[in-house]
Structure 1
Amino acid sequence: MPKILAVTKDNRTYKLFFNQISDFFNGKVTILSREQCQDHENVDIILLSNKELQDDQYPEEKVLIARRTINIARLEELISLPAGTKCLVVNNLASTASETIEILENLGFELKFYPYYPGIKTYQKVEVAIIPEALEMVPKGIKRMIDIGLRPLDFSTLIELSLKLNINIDRANIQSARYIQEIIKLSRNLSHSFKEVAHLNHQLDAILNTVHDGILATDAEKKIIKINRSAKSMLGMHHSENEIIGKKVSEILPKLKLDSYINDDLSQKNHVISFNERKLIINNSSIVVDQKNSGDVTAFQDVTRIQALEQEIRKKIQKKGFSSRYSISDIIGKSQRMKDILHIINKLAKTDRTVLILGENGTGKELFAHSIHQLSSRHNGPFIPVNFAGLPESLAESELFGYEEGTFTGGVKGGKQGLFELAHNGTIFLDEIGDAPKNLQTLLLRVLQEKQVMRVGGRSIIPVNVRVIAATNKDLKKMVEEGSFREDLYYRLFVLPLRIPPLRDRKEDIPELITHFFEEFCPTIPAISDDVLNELVNYNWPGNVRELASVVQYMITVMENNFITHLDLPEQFHRTGPTVKIDDTLLQLTKEGDLVDFHTILCSLLEAMQERKSIGRGKIVSYAKEKGVLLTDQQVRRRMETLRDLGFIQSGTKGQGSRLTQMGMSTMKQMQRIITENEKVMKRLS
């Protein structure tokens, strides 16, 4: 479940945010306070109540500074103030006090506002204070306090949260209806004096014109009493205010037929109409006064604008995981087999025909599916992967084709889109298609034939424009003969087959793949001995590229000194055969000289090998001196002869110097253990 960290100045504001966000998302998100969240990496969004709470510890890409508004339901007392009244606007910060003043002024209040906040040095002496529930912040001398409550989140911030979290805003209409209801409640409670009505109408106009929805209010006689700019624009009305107010809708807009929609019990419902070459969604609410219907408020939404918002959400969703992550440049290999496959992929991408990718586990079938999608004309559309091996049979149909509301207990309100719908205008990747249950194979065949889906529990047919790429490691032809896979589905899938070779059939690509995984998994590229590389190339690789990646990760984890030796290979590579008794050879070394001398010489050769440099006796003498070991050139020569006789080092060609053998590397570790133990003993004796 997505997580939101709400960072606020005080606990009251946090509770307000918590309740508002929980209600808007209907429990689909988790909201945490600063006390509840110490690890900012585990949250999706960090919502700040104001910019002054910004902190360097918060990842910039997760931070959203809330836009806040004023609770319309709390403005009644403020509206009753005479024009020009001086008011202190009290808040806990200078910035929030200024923001509140700006909102009130934009709403059209003809009052004089002055900020007040804790720590302010000078402020205007007035008798009226506008407060956000915080009585303790009000200065002395105030005779009248008007509590407008804490400032809730602006609707635009809730929409932005929806976009960032990729959550469908299926409750937006409900929130909009509540907002409208608050406006209507406010207007019912206003004073009916002529002077007050004129003033309040001005305020109400300002409020209504801040709403993107078109709003049209009528009285009990169906005469227009209020209309905002958005409604006039959507309905194509070019009349002046005086030409509209007091007239019946049927007089001004005879083609609208609004009465017929309202009489059809439109309250709390969405109704799509066509008007003036536009698609509009209509919602109607009745104005009830003293249990009598005194009029109606109709809200209009432009379908074009909603579709644009939906497209924006789709783009955000694609960026979060419904888009292709790989391209053809991610395919590693220059063998002739791979060159042939890449040539074929470019051809397959130019068509919308179904592709069936065949290959063993670990060969990278999904990588090739991504590449085909990226090269196709659908590359800007979604890429939806489905793995039948991990899809429970009981959920498979609803996941692929979606379901209507009420089909399942605990299902998503409004129903749920299936993966085929989400893949519209893109590509769906059916991985492990050989594991699809028999009943689902029938449904898949219909989708491939008709390019249509029907949701579980639904009755309507939904067309889908989807390119299908399937993959399997099984012999589908044999499964058809055994009766476990539908023959007609097999031939529907087997249109453009693409077989990916196992790693053992393209061994010349292994060194390049190893280098690629070194770069991916290791901060510094390690050196690797020739015998280890040869063994990796000659291995059979039953797990293919996936196994190779695991082996590389194992080797770089256990290696020492950034150098990979035969000892660093995992268990399946360990050879059986005669072993050298290192204890006997070490005993022989101690007879020839100090074990520290031999260990120092071997270390110098290892370091030279890692740096890919040659080293002679003179450099070994200097290296030993730096390590605190005094050796002459003659001593180095004799000790190297001993090491060579024992097989620990071998001579290079002219000018290349000596280098370590595999046995020498293995011996070094035991040498170091013996030297360390000897040092401990000497310390205890001293």
Structure 2
Amino acid sequence: MTRGVSKSILLVTRGKKNCRILTKELEDLLGDRVDVRGYCVEDPLPQIMPDVDLVVAATESILKLFPEELKGKYEIIVARRTVDFDSLYKLFNLPPKQKIMLVNDRKETAEEVISLLYGVGFDHLWLIPVYPELPNPPRTDIAITPGEGKFVPPYVKKVIDIGTRKIDLSTMMEILFKFDLLDKRANLLSARYMSNIIDISRKLSNSLVSNKTLVHLLEAIIQKINNGVIATDHAGKIVMCNKIAENMFGIKREEVLGQNADIVLPNLEINKPLITGEIDENIEKLYQDKHILINRIPLEYDNAINGAVLTTYEFSEVEKIEKKLRKHVYSKGHVARYNFNDIDGSNTVLRRQINNAKKFAPLDMTVLIEGETGTGKELMAHAIHNASKRKNGPFVAINCAALPKDLLESELFGFEEGTFTGARKGGKPGLFEQAHLGTIFLDEIGEIPPEIQVKLLRAIEAKEVMRIGSDGLISVDVRIIAATNQNLKSLIAAKKFREDLYFRLNVLKVYIPPLRERKEDILPLMNSMLGEYGKSVNDFLTEEVRQLLTQYNWPGNIRELRNIAEFLIATVPDRKAKGSDLPIDFQVNIDLQSPGEKPNPLAQKLEETTYLQEDLAILKIMSDLADYGRTIGRRRLKKLLDQA
């Protein structure tokens, strides 16, 4: 088993050649993240079956050979298989009315391949299934086989080997999803699939000019595949358009044939290859609220460009699995919800910092956000992520001050199976792994213990993490946004924060000013908050309250401002809020915040109340007695108050 690997697949096939090829295919897909073991059903069943996480049966018939007790023990999926697109060009010149053998190891698999070939447009061929048990194979000169040439009768003159059937795209995606590896591999698979479609078009380009039979063949193929295809001639006029493209772009084939493609669909630049001669692959477009991926290729003949092909698909089948993963990510809260438009304020310093953040967002560098508690540091981090090229990836946030050291380490870096008593089977990926191809937001970065600072520094420098209990390194592609309400330089001086980590984090800095330095934003922010409940500052707050809000120093910043708004909505929903309606701690704080200054109106009002005068008298009596080392009970206190 590969060092550091904790997950495994058992691939069950017929034939050693099949086993070798398909095992290699899965190894290429999964790399060193999953151990792939091949088992051929012709071999004796091991006395002790390996403990694996997933069994992949190469065909449905193989599944029937599994003992019932094993079926209950393992999670099993049956691989969907497809032909090797790279070999289809070998079939282009076959005669349509001549009998042709399709030779495979069993009747069912031969029929499956025929069905696959018919499904991609070769239904003009007369294919007859041939297999070892067939008593009287037909006398034909041509045979097609998916890597099973040993079963072809000796009298056949021409054998066309189209290669072992591959595991299809949907099965590959399912495997990636089961192992939580559906990251950039999914995009690579999608690109490879589209590349196969493009390659077919390129190999057919010469035939488009000279051979009507192959023109019909291409027409049949593009009508069968699940992608939109539009082809143009040397003048840029549409010569071919399949049903998928019609539905996707809201056009009718009979109406657009012969029309200039760039006039019919100007935003897609279908004829661009006629000018550049270059292939454009995997270009994302937004077309009438549909997210689509397009590829443009030139068609060459006699060293000249004679047309262009556009292949396109809406994010559908492949993306359903990706979206399933995204939904899983959303359910974990790993998604950024806010944009720069959600950051309210006209303060000059704040606007300058927002403009800087907008410039930083696409640069994919580490960002350090500084600001007091409640100023909106996480909101800024959300906005930076959503304006970056990682916006479609996960946004994983963690408050480093909220967890004890051991738990924080396991959350950030994950752990291997068996590391902790009761730990779940298979271990657990850390937040760095979960943020792969996205952003991790480390709030309260100054609270990270020194031991974890070392591992964090390595993750930033080497883009690798090591799970607790493992000696294997896992590569991660993550952007880091950190935030702090502390002075990190002071922490460095106090030996509480690593200087090298500070310089790794302090690449691009954003400072969010406290609310007391943004007096002009206080009432507009309050108005926005009240607006969520159908109220406004002018209609709901008296002039007295508005003055108090602007005089207050707001130690809790915007978070405290929202608390005040929601408190008033809850306590005085049906009338204007007065100064005496404000929370008592607000009233006390505003009275204490400016000693020696002119008392504010609310403080004066409180001093005039009977209750406050009594409270002050009680405190005076208790203070005087304390000077003599004496205490007082409630009855004696009441008597003294009455006398006063």
Q: Provide the TM-score with structure 2 as the length reference.
A: 0.49
Q: Higher RCO, 1 or 2 (CA under 8 Å, sep at least 6)?
A: 2
Q: Which structure has the greater CA radius of gyration?
A: 1
